[in-house]
Structure 1
Amino acid sequence: MRKRPLIVLSTVAAATFLLAGCAGSSAPSSSGTPSPSASSACALDAQPGATSDAVKVEGEGADTKVTVPADAAFAGVERTVVSEGDGEEVYVNDLVSVEYQIVDATTNEVVDSSARGEDGLLPVLLDTNQSSLFVAALECEPVGSRIVLSLPGSALGEGQNNVVVYAQAVEHLPEVATGTPVDPTPGMPTVELDDKGAPTVTIPDGDAPAETKVAVLKQGDGPTVGSGDLVVVQYLGVKWSDGTEFDSSWSRDAAPAQFQTTGVVAGFQKALEGQKVGSQVVVVMPPSDGYGASEGHELQKESLVFVVDILATTAVQQ
């Protein structure tokens, strides 16, 4: 049975339709197409209602208790700001640390929460494709705001219970690697960064390596990426043969991408697992670790180079 990322809950997946038509991120498992910017725009902009207003939120941090009245109507998707924060506003494609609880309104049971994360927080990329529930809860409100989102079970699929999400974006997280620069590795492509952190790659003379090689460009000190983790990254992919770009998160308005490490080509997976958040790595992979087995793929015979900024990682549920 396939594992599911912690924040990609069944309720999140079912709620994606709420944000249909909004831009999302793509994973580097194939060549990407630039997506329109979602910055400074609200995808859903849910409004307060009788149900979201009636949800009781007591305490703070790990001691927060969310209680849903037994007679709550759940007439539609509603959002109430319990208290407004004083930080910058949060938008689609932002990367934030989040404290949250997802509560089954029928039983008042907490079915998922950020409690397993460090300091009771988890990193969340507000990607409309994979984290739409958090987009609906947090978008277009300042960091620090404490928010209640109520969702009728009918919005989540047949037979689903009503759900309440309590969430707070605690801070914006860096969207470029912040680790300590490391001396270049001889024989590997060289990387230069512009003032926004976007990379440019220069391919060295000679043939591509016959095996996948990974070099650290910046050494981070955050959590270590494990096999199957949900990761958030910025990346650039170019061909070894001529240095031309074939995929890049930077070309999609510098919006990060998120995916499981087991959901990308083998060379990219090797570049991620075992590295620490905050690191930037460059990986060179032969076709066998890229698209060599994908008959007819435009990159089937190409050795590939990726530069990857590792921004966040989250372990998966069993």
Structure 2
Amino acid sequence: MRKIPALLISAGLLAVSLTACAPSTGPGCESAVPSGESSTIVKVSGDEGAKPTVDFPTPLKVSSTERTVVREGEGPGTVEGQQISIDWSVYNGTSGELIEQSAYDGSQALSFALVDGKLMPGVQQGLLCATEGSRVTLVVPPEDAFGEAGNPQLGVAPEDSLVFVIDVNRSYLPRANGTPKAAAEGMPAVVLDANGVPGITIPSAAAPTDLQVAVLKQGDGETIEEGDQVVVHYTGVLWDTKKVFDSSWSRGAPAVFAAAPGSETVQNGVITGFADALIGQQVGSQIIAVIPPELGYGEQGNGAVPPNSTLVFVVDILGIS
């Protein structure tokens, strides 16, 4: 699985207002992007999980982004900040030429979070409220894509629209959805805000000297094994100063880590205590871990983490990628 191509998606970061309403593609979720004549005229055929056959008249122009659901998926629609995995085929709407296409075999699936301001506006808005297993077509005008500059490297002129055919293969949990558990004695207290972001209160007692892990919400999804790539939200707090030193929630997007200690042979690994806390947990769970220095950043520290720091993490386990 690869990250989203910067040239194609991290476009002009335009401030685009897409406020038209359309039927939801998932329960309780209403898309801001309507279906229209241009997105409907894009004809798509082919088996699920295979490269689609795509046909549309050229030049295909729109004044605002349009979306048509070709195949309905299941479950709730995607929301802002949620991690998804997709396959796609992208065309120049003026010439009809293919710009980029996934392999549709799992080797080139794109994984990213739906974060406003980091994705091409037409794609960001067009994928909100899409359901897992759905196939959607998007026709995106220049102002919702690369703007007045176009993208010469991709052969996209300033006046060219883009046509996307997107399969939403996976939509990871937006937050832990497990059954709440009683608080463990002696552990930091955790209170969640309306968006599920934790606030952490550290006890006045001395920090424990060994790894402490407690389940705050018990999920019932897949069990994490060592080396799995896991999608998580997390907040890290220093026991001594009670200050937050890192948080994926503050960045608005989950993180993807290997559930294994980082090393020369393990890329995208984490500190040993974080890996140990994750292994054996189930997707949908929320856990709290108190990590002693020797299982964290030790005598060296790391950036905002002073040497010999005890760390506290609250983690939402959102999926295995």
Query: How does the TM-score come out when normalised to structure 1?
Result: 0.60
Match of 1:312 in 2: 319
2:67 match: 81
* Code of the aligned partner of 1:82: T
For the residues of structure 1 that align with 2:6 and 2:168, how far apart are their CA atoms? Answer: 20
Hey, what does 1:35 align to over in structure 2?
A: none
Match of 2:103 among 98, 109, 112: 112
Give the paired residue count. Answer: 275
Structure 1 Cα separation of the partners of residues 288 and 182 of structure 2: 13
Contact conserved, 2:83 with 2:113, CA < 8 A, in 1?
Answer: yes
Residue 66 of structure 1 aligns with which residue?
53
Distance 1:234 1:305 in 2: 14
Q: Which has the higher contact order (CA 8 A, sep 6+)?
A: 1
Cα distance change, pair 137–219 in 1 and its aligned pair in 2 (3 A): same
Three-state SS of the structure 2 residue aligned to 1:139 is: helix
Give the Cα separation in 1 of the matches to 2:117 and 2:281.
26
For residues 210 and 53 of structure 1, do their structure 2 counterparts lie closer, same or farther at Cα, with a shift above 3 Å needed? same
Among 15, 26, 33, the residue aligned to 2:8 = 15
Task: Give identity over the alignment, percent.
Answer: 31
TM-score normalised by the chain length of structure 2? 0.60
Paired residue type of 1:18 = A
Change (3 A) 1:266 1:16: farther
Aligned pair partner of 1:260 in 257, 281, 285:
257
Q: Which of structures 1 and 2 has the bigger CA Rg?
A: 2
The answer on 1:210 being equivalent to 2:198 is no
- Check whether the contact 1:281–1:308 (CA below 8 A) recurs between aligned residues: yes
- Any gaps of 5 or more consecutive residues in structure 2? 16-31, 156-161, 259-267
Cα deviation code 1:38-97 (max 9, x no counterpart): xxxx9xx9xx999x888541257447723368x97899xx9653348899986652445x
Give CA-to-partner distance per residue, 1:186-226, whole Å, 9 cap, x none.
44323233444332333345432334332222121123345
**Are 2:79 and 2:174, in contact at CA under 8 Å, matched by a contact in 1?**
no
Using the TM superposition, give the Cα deviation of residue 289 of structure 1 relative to its aligned residue in structure 2, in angstroms: 3.2
SS of equivalent residue, structure 1 residue 18: coil
- Per the alignment, residue 264 of structure 2 pairs with none
Task: Give the equivalent residue in structure 1 for 2:223.
Answer: 224
- Structure-2 separation of matches of 1:209 and 1:276: 25
Q: Which secondary structure state, in structure 2, belongs to the residue aligned with residue 268 of structure 1?
A: helix
Aligned pairs for 1:224-243 (under 5 A) are 224-227=223-226, 229-243=228-242
Cα drift, residue 278 of structure 1: 0.5
Structure 1 residues without counterparts, runs of 5 or longer: 1-5, 23-41
SS state at 2:207 partner = coil
Going from structure 1 to structure 2, the CA distance change for 1:260 and 1:167 (only over 3 Å counts) comes to same
Pairing of 1:1-318 with structure 2 (within 5 A): 6-8=1-3, 12-20=5-13, 56-58=43-45, 61-62=48-49, 65-67=52-54, 81-83=67-69, 92-95=80-83, 100-102=87-89, 111-113=102-104, 125-127=113-115, 132=119, 136-140=122-126, 142-143=129-130, 146-148=136-138, 155=151, 165-168=164-167, 174-227=173-226, 229-251=228-250, 255-261=252-258, 262-292=268-298, 294=300, 297-301=303-307, 302-314=309-321
Maintained 8 Å contact 2:88/2:167: no
Alpha-carbon distance, 1:276 to partner: 1.9
Contact 1:82 1:146 in 2 (8 A): yes
